[in-house]
Amino acid sequence: MSFSILGSGHYVPPRVVTNDELSTFLDTSDAWISERTGIRERRVCVTENATDLAVEAAKRALDKAGVAPEELDLILCGTVSGQYVNPPLACMVQERLGATCPCLDVNAGCSVFLYMLECAAGYFARRTVKKMLVIGSEQMSRILDWTDRSTCILFGDGAGALVLGEGDDYLASTLYAKGDDRVIRIPTHIGNSPFYQGEQDSPYVHMNGQETYKFAVHVIVRDIEEVLRKAGVAGEDVRWVVPHQANRRIIDAAGRRVKSVGGDKFFCNIDRYGNTSAASIPLALDELAQSGQLQKGDLVVLAAFGGGLSSGACLIRW
Ligand code: UT7
């Protein structure tokens, strides 16, 4: 046994920041950003934090699933921009929802949702859980250097959540990691130890865009093909691919290369949200479901990549 998806939800803060607004304080333009990335606007927290976003997304997913917080047996959260290093985001969500189950956060950069689903499948296989909440939530705006036009234009804030129950709809998966802090890293706050004499790296997103781009296209194609092979499913039987929303060009390039599936099945909402890291996959999946384009029984491939370096893909039945 693995799991079935009982409900999904997402939440984004109401404040919209367009590319034009960014160009009022950065040397950039709507033309550059939309041509190179496909992003037109993103949501940004003004008073909210990653906990607030996660709680809202979770409430919507629980509502959709018809599951009460007290029924949950585990909460898993993924974030790189949570309110605290500790307590874990999952514990803060548990308190706010009024749940009582064990909670933990998982860190696998932008691939974390795929890693969390694999963890979830393990819990279901051991039959130690019957209902689980899995959330990706990010306040990326608090860990961006807003003077660095090469990174701050790419990201946005938001959250997405899934409620999982017992079932057999997690069909195949593949996960990879290759330790590397040169391509993507987010250093933690260094503190003010009077003894520490090492280097201080600013606590913002650092990224080598071109290296990330090359890595992303390579792994997303490899992982999707691999997961289809493992499941013994033909690309033409896949209804949707929901890829991590990092750059429209990456999604298009992957769509062109995974010929058996076809690029028109690659869902993309990056124009409105930018890269919301851990939230990107569940947010996109929920938008797709809400739009009525996803029917019960549809086969969906999820694929992500990011800091770690890490990547992964899975095949689910909706
Ligand atoms: O979840 C994490 C995953 N992250 C990603 O997947 C990011 C992957 N990488 C990318 O999406 C792209 O590499 C970027 C969108 C980040 C950059 O696009 P690029 O085509 O690789 O541009 P570039 O870094 O080669 O920069 C080209 C030029 C440079 O100017 P020069 O040196 O040619 O004069 C940059 O300084 O564009 C300049 N530039 C900008 N210009 C206007 C960089 N950022 C901006 C900007 N506005 N925001």
Among protein residues, the one whose CA lies closest to atom 2 of ligand 1: 306
Confirm or reject: Cβ of 212 under 6 Å from ligand 1.
yes
Pocket of ligand 1 contains residue 209 by CB under 6 Å: yes
Ligand 1 site, residue 19, Cβ cutoff 6 A: no
CB neighbour list of residue 260: distance below 8 Å, 6 or more residues apart: 225, 228, 234, 235, 236
DSSP type of residue 189: P
Q: What is the pTM of this model?
A: 0.96
pLDDT in tens, 64-86: 999 999 999 999 999 999 999 99
Where do we find the tokens 């190179």? Answer: 36
Point out the catalytic residue in the list 19, 49, 247, 275. Answer: 275
Distance 246 CA to ligand 1 centre (A): 12
Mean pLDDT of 39-57: 98
Q: What is the pLDDT of residue 101?
A: 98
Burial of 133 (0-12, 13-18, 19+ CB in 10 A): buried
Which helix (H) or strand (E) segment holds residue 180: the answer is strand 170-180
Helix (H) or strand (E) holding 53: helix 50-65
Q: How many Å apart are CA 252 and CA 247, to the nearest integer?
A: 9
153 dihedral zone (left: phi>0; alpha: psi -120 to 50; beta): alpha
pLDDT digits (tens, 9 = 90+) for 2-33: 999 999 999 999 999 999 999 999 999 999 99
- How many Å lie between the centroid of ligand 1 and the Cα of residue 126? 45
Structure tokens at 242: 């929901």
> Does residue 140 line the site of ligand 1, with CB under 6 A?
no
CA–CA separation, 201 and 178 (whole Å): 22
- The pLDDT value recorded for residue 314 is 98
Model confidence pLDDT, tens digit, residues 201-229: 999 999 999 999 999 999 999 999 999 99
> Any catalytic annotation for residue 244?
yes
What is the per-residue pLDDT for 189?
85
Do 76 and 48 meet the contact criterion of CB atoms below 8 Å apart?
Answer: no
Verify whether residue 206 is a known catalytic residue: no
**Ligand 1, atom 35, residue with closest C-alpha:** 150
Q: Cis peptide leading into 309, omega within 30 of 0?
A: yes
**Look-up of token digits 């809202």:** 56
pLDDT of res. 199? 85
pLDDT at 14: 98
pLDDT of residue 237: 97
pLDDT at 200: 83
What pLDDT does 115 receive? 98
Evaluate: CB of 311 within 6 angstroms of ligand 1. Answer: no
Please check the confidence at residue 168 and state whether its pLDDT lies above 90.
Answer: yes
Atom 39 (ligand 1) nearest CA: 150
For the cut 90, the answer to whether the pLDDT of residue 190 exceeds it is no
> Is 275 a known active-site residue?
yes
**Rounded-to-10 torsion of CA 277, 279, 282, 287:** -100
Q: Which of 19, 210, 250 to mutate to test the pocket of ligand 1 (most atoms within 8 A of CB)?
A: 210
With the most atoms of ligand 1 within 8 angstroms of its CB, the residue from 22, 148, 213, 218 to mutate is 213
Phi and psi at 189, nearest 5°, equal -60, 135
Q: Which of 146, 150, 211 maximizes ligand 1 atoms within 8 Å of its Cβ, making it the mutation to test the pocket? A: 150
